[in-house]
């Protein structure tokens, strides 16, 4: 399980880098891979939501899931933008 978690973190970090380069489709793909490796990774859902929002794609379901997993910032964004 620890190795699986480390791979998820690696994809999350790569997604951050791609997002910083405004490669939102690449960031979304990496955050999605992190979620596939660890379906309880709230930070990956939250950051995928951010990338989707910046790309003009539907993002509320990611903020909602991140909130359900304890990501407080996602709860605020979901409540402000998606309700």
The tokens 């990501």 sit on which residue?
Answer: 71
Average of per-residue pLDDT values in the chain: 94
Q: Measured between alpha carbons, how far is 69 from 67 in angstroms, rounded to an integer?
A: 5
Question: What is the pLDDT, as a whole number, of residue 6?
Answer: 86
Q: Measured between alpha carbons, how far is 34 from 43 in angstroms, rounded to an integer?
A: 10
- The percentage of residues in the chain with a pLDDT greater than 90, rounded to a whole number, is 92
Question: What is the pLDDT, as a whole number, of residue 14?
Answer: 98
Task: Give the pLDDT mean for 43-69.
Answer: 98
Report the predicted TM-score, pTM, of the whole model to 2 decimal places: 0.93
- The percentage of residues in the chain with a pLDDT greater than 70, rounded to a whole number, is 95
């Amino acid at each position: 399980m620890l190795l699986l978690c480390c791979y998820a973190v690696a994809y999350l970090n790569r997604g951050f880098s791609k997002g910083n380069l405004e490669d939102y489709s690449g960031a979304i793909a990496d955050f999605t891979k992190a979620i596939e490796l660890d379906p309880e990774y709230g930070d990956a859902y939250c950051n995928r939501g951010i990338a989707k929002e910046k790309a003009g794609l539907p993002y509320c379901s990611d903020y909602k899931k991140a909130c359900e997993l304890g990501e407080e910032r996602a709860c605020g964004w979901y409540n402000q933008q998606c309700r």
